[in-house]
Amino acid sequence: MNKVYKSKLARAIALAFIFYITSFSDLVGQTVWLDQLDLSAATQGYGVPRKNKTVDGNVMKIAGQSYDRGFGTHAESSLQIQLGGKAKLFTAWVGVDDEMKEHQPAVEFFVLGDGKKLWSSAVMRVGDIARPCTVDVAGVNKLELVVTDGSNGNYYDHADWADAKFETLGATTFATFNPVSSEPYILTPKPSATPKINSASVFGVRPGSPFQFRIPVTGDRPMNFSASGLPSGLKLNGTTGVITGKLAKAGTYLVKLRAKNAKGIAEKSLKIICGDQIALTPPMGWNSWNCFAGEVSAEKVKRAAEVMVKTGLVNHGWNYVNIDDFWQNHRDSKDPSLQGKMRDEAGNIIPNKRFGDMKGLADYVHGLGLKIGIYSSPGPWTCGGCAGSYGYEKQDAESYAKWGFDYLKYDWCSYGNVINGLPQNDPYKVSSLSYQGGNQLATAMKPFQLMGDLLRKQPRDIVFSLCQYGMSDVWKWGGSVGGTSWRTTNDITDTWTSVKNIALDQEKSAAFAKPGNWNDPDMLVVGTVGWGNPHPSKLKPDEQYLHFSLWSLFSAPLLIGCDMEKLDDFTINLLTNDEVIAVNQDGLGKQASCVQTIGDLRIYVKDLEDGSKAVGFCNFGLEKVNIAYNDLNKLGFSGKQRVRDLWRQKDIRDISTDKEALDLNVPVHGVVLYKLSPLR
């Protein structure tokens, strides 16, 4: 054989070999391990996504079995993977990591293919042996791996996708992605220098209760306030715009509010309804939990109140400053500032050293024209293990009133142990979600009825916020036990999965919202949040616009959960759009419901007092929505309507709803929020 021939033959053999290998691997495929992909695209409720380790950085271990490879995460968790139809099979062993065995976490794993559920693990707890996940993913373009909180809040939910891998169709690898843009962008125009009164149209108070209402007004200072038609018993401070006093008799009083500065004058009518109901529009304010959790102190609460005034948030209606858990002494904390006697000889609760003078704090907050809230549990312990109200309900209601509190959040937690006869020193909610025997509804209502009645006996109005995560369809009876609002779901986290699942869960209760009775899908997760580990909300800007729009459409209590001292321009802008807030504060008090879905686009409609409707085109999907929408009749519109973009505070156009289409461009996980008003 000559040299040339030899080398040609060698090349031909090599090529044939390569061809054989490639086509063979095309046929048999490959294994692509999940840990070979970029996991940083995942979003999760706590910590960072980990490769081959748990969320705390340990070797993954489920019920004693260790795993070298996989994805360690924490509920609520979501990882998106572009498969492009090139994978056949996804397999993994899933479970709660043993590193949390001192606690009671519960999670549920889901595999979604192109938005559809392909598999779920059912709820898993710590100590459960790993469950095999084997999912046929042939033809799937986008795969999502999700871990939810197992319906008991996302506490200690360390979740492992162990030995997770794909069998592919041919030689390939996959990219993870997060389709939502991260760039913050400002939509709300700055308030004008001329006065504008941003209050709701109604305000409720009970006869004989101290009255306090700070008129929210934007515009240059100094500002002078006046009012006509103020009933006797009330007086307005012309400089601060705070109305105080007392109304002796029930009745409806029509007041004209006026605000004047160097640039001009504004007027607005306010209907004061003195009767049985308070919180005729959803409460708006701040709560310490989502940022400070167990680190709250009187100083932090004072500073949050001061920021509410200094940043001008108060001029948009933000008003309550609410202390959550950890103002009381703790069961067994090592922190000296939480140690001490829980109660005095008469059974009166003693605030911890970080708080001390509760009346002084309440006076300070009232002095700013704001209101103040407090927190307790009907059980012996709060969710965080501080002293609860069980057995001392009367003393507690009286203390709150004596100190001057305006709002009580009353959180089920260890009450579950009381009714189930479980050890009362375990404050966690694991036992609380089910009742053993008995009349379940009566059991669920009892502690709230008790506190509700006691609050009503106090000589001041105290908003009663029920927190029991939606058990026993609380929206059907929360009002009857004196509740002003009630949580409908478990705790929120600053992840898209959490916000989305909570939002999707609101339909069941929507019809029950009305003035004085609000469904509460939990507090806002915008700004710097973190339950003691402060970080910027993990929600992307579009997700935050959607979150705030939905909570406004839902007529939800609006409670800012962030560190007020770290408010950035984006967050302030998000929280100060008066036209969006007006949707939340509308006097009719209806909650929006989802009237139509087009793929992942959910269209929510909320009827407003002036005969117009707010419409939220909410994109829950992974693709932008660009459509000519011509179903306005299906949403209940007819004739000519003026379309206004509420986030941009701009009229878009007038539309003949029977003939014309609306061009919609809705970002991924974003919103277009319009108000449509009938034109004559």
Among 148, 319, 376, 382, binds ligand GLA (CB under 6 A): 382
Give the sheet arrangement for strand 320-322, strand by strand: 518-520, 485-487, 463-467, 407-411, 371-376, 320-322, 284-287, 558-560
Instruction: Using alpha carbons only, give the angle 493, 496, 498 rounded to the nearest 5 degrees.
Output: 45
* Token pair of 124 as six digits: 């898993």
* Alpha carbons within 13 A on the beta-carbon side of 216: 27
- Shortest Cβ 104–ligand GLA spacing (Å): 13
Residue 572 has which token pair?
């302030």
Find all residues with CB under 8 Å of 27, minimum gap 6, and list them.
Answer: 170
Mask of contacts with ligand GLA, 137-156, x by CB under 6 A? Answer: ----------------x---
Question: 641 with 652: CB under 8 angstroms?
Answer: no
> Stretches 220-228, 380-388, 563-571, 592-600: which one binds ligand GLA (CB under 6 A)?
380-388
413: nearest Cα among 449, 464, 373, 447: 447
Using CA atoms, how far apart are residues 180 and 337, in angstroms rounded to an integer? 42
The verdict on whether 324 is a catalytic residue reads: no
Let me know: does 129 contact 93? Beta carbons within 8 Å: no
Distances in whole angstroms, Cα of residue 625 to Cα of each of 81, 290, 601, 628: 21, 32, 8, 10
Task: Report the nearest approach of ligand GLA to the CB of residue 531 (Å).
Answer: 9
Among 35, 406, 461, 491, which one carries the catalytic annotation?
491
Question: Which residue has tokens 């209806």?
Answer: 590
Choices 382-390, 445-453, 622-630, 670-678 (CB under 6 A): range interacting with ligand GLA: 382-390
Interaction with ligand GLA in 208-237: which residues (CB under 6 A)? none
**Rounded-to-integer distance, Cα 556 and Cα 560, Å:** 12
Q: DSSP labels for 477-506?
A: TGGGGT-SEEE-SS---SSHHHHHHHHHT-
Of the candidate residues 97, 411, 520, 543, the single one contacting ligand GLA (CB under 6 A): 411
Within positions 606 to 665, which residues make up the interface with ligand GLA, using CB under 6 A? none
Q: Which of 411, 371, 363, 405 is nearest to 387 (CA)?
A: 411
Question: Which residues on adjacent β-strands are paired with residue 629?
Answer: 662
Instruction: Report the residue closest to ligand GLA, judged by CB.
Output: 383
* Smaller CB separation from ligand GLA, 166 or 486: 486
For residues 624 and 604, the answer to whether their CB atoms sit within 8 Å is no
| Closest CA relative to residue 320, chosen from 184, 212, 440 | 212
What's the Cα-to-Cα distance from 458 to each of 250, 539, 591, rounded to whole Å? 17, 40, 30
Q: Which is nearer to ligand GLA, 174 or 381 (CB)?
A: 381
Q: Which of 75, 383, 503, 553 touches ligand GLA by CB under 6 A?
A: 383
Structure tokens at 385: 């293990």
Closer residue to ligand GLA (CB): 155 or 637: 155
Given candidates 324, 494, 543, 579, which one binds ligand GLA under the rule CB under 6 A?
324
Smaller CB separation from ligand GLA, 105 or 153: 153
Give the binding-site size for ligand GLA (rule: CB under 6 A). 10
Pull the structure tokens for residue 463.
């908003």
Nearer to ligand GLA, 215 or 502 (CB): 502
Q: Is 26 a catalytic residue?
A: no
| DSSP structure class, residue 437 | S
Its sign, for the CA torsion 29, 34, 38, 43, is positive
Write down the least CB distance from residue 153 to ligand GLA, Å.
6
Query: Is 467 a binder of ligand GLA (CB under 6 A)?
Result: yes
Question: Are 181 and 542 within 8 A, CB to CB?
Answer: yes
Per-residue mark of binding to ligand GLA, 11-50 (x: CB under 6 A): ----------------------------------------
Give the binding range for ligand GLA (CB under 6 A) out of 58-66, 310-318, 378-386, 448-456.
Answer: 378-386
Shortest separation between residue 326's beta carbon and ligand GLA, angstroms: 7
Quick check: 157 binds ligand GLA (CB under 6 A)? no
* Residue 193 and residue 253 in contact, taking contact as beta carbons nearer than 8 Å: no
Q: How far is the CB of 465 from ligand GLA (least distance, A)?
A: 10
* Span from 62-70, 169-177, 381-389, 454-462 in contact with ligand GLA (CB under 6 A): 381-389
The two tokens of residue 461 are 């109005």
Task: Tell me the window of 82-90, 379-387, 452-460, 603-611 that interacts with ligand GLA (CB under 6 A).
Answer: 379-387
* Residue 411: CB minimum distance to ligand GLA, A: 5
Distance between CA 485 and CA 634 in Å, rounded? 31
Site stretch for ligand GLA (CB under 6 A), options 276-284, 376-384, 440-448, 577-585: 376-384
Shortest reach from residue 520's CB to ligand GLA, in Å: 10
658 to each of 461, 594, 617, 630, 632, how far by Cα in Å?
48, 21, 19, 8, 7
**Chosen residue from 325, 396, 542, 563 binding ligand GLA by CB under 6 A:** 325
Contact 639, 678 (CB under 8 A): yes
Nearer to ligand GLA, 288 or 319 (CB): 288
Name which of 384 and 616 has its Cβ closer to ligand GLA: 384
Rounded to the nearest whole angstrom, what is the least distance from the CB of residue 468 to ligand GLA in the complex?
9
The angle formed by the CA atoms of residues 371, 372 and 373, to the nearest 5 degrees, is 135
CB of 384 to ligand GLA, least distance (A): 4
Nearest CB to ligand GLA, comparing residues 35 and 324: 324
What the block records as the tokens of 235 is 């007086």
Instruction: For ligand GLA, give the closer residue by CB, 153 or 378.
Output: 153
Helix (H, G, I), strand (E, B) or coil at 77: strand
Q: For residues 277-316, which are near ligand GLA according to CB under 6 A? A: 289
Segment 472 to 491, residues that bind ligand GLA, using CB under 6 A? 491
Catalytic option among 97, 163, 325, 411: 411
SS3 of 93, please? strand
Please report the DSSP string for 202-231 in residue order: EEEE-TTSEEEEEPPEESPSS-EEEEESPP
Bridge partner residues of 212 (DSSP): 244
- List the one residue from 241, 384, 452, 589 that touches ligand GLA (CB under 6 A): 384
**Nearest 10 degrees: Cα torsion 458, 462, 466, 472:** 60
Rg of the chain (C-alpha set): 28
| 371-376 and 320-322 strand pairing | parallel
Residue 76 interacting with ligand GLA (CB under 6 A):
no
Residue 157 or 411 with smaller CB distance to ligand GLA: 411
CB of 372 to ligand GLA, least distance (A): 16
Query: Please, which residue, 126 or 383, has the CB nearer to ligand GLA?
Result: 383
Instruction: Give me the least distance between CB of 289 and ligand GLA, in Å please.
Output: 5
Identify which of residues 292 and 512 has a Cβ nearer to ligand GLA in the complex. 292
Span near ligand GLA by CB under 6 A; candidates 172-180, 377-385, 453-461, 548-556? 377-385
Q: How far apart are CA 182 and CA 669, in angstroms?
A: 12
Which parts of this chain interact with ligand GLA (CB under 6 A)?
A: 153, 289, 324-325, 382-384, 411, 467, 491
Catalytic residues: 411, 491
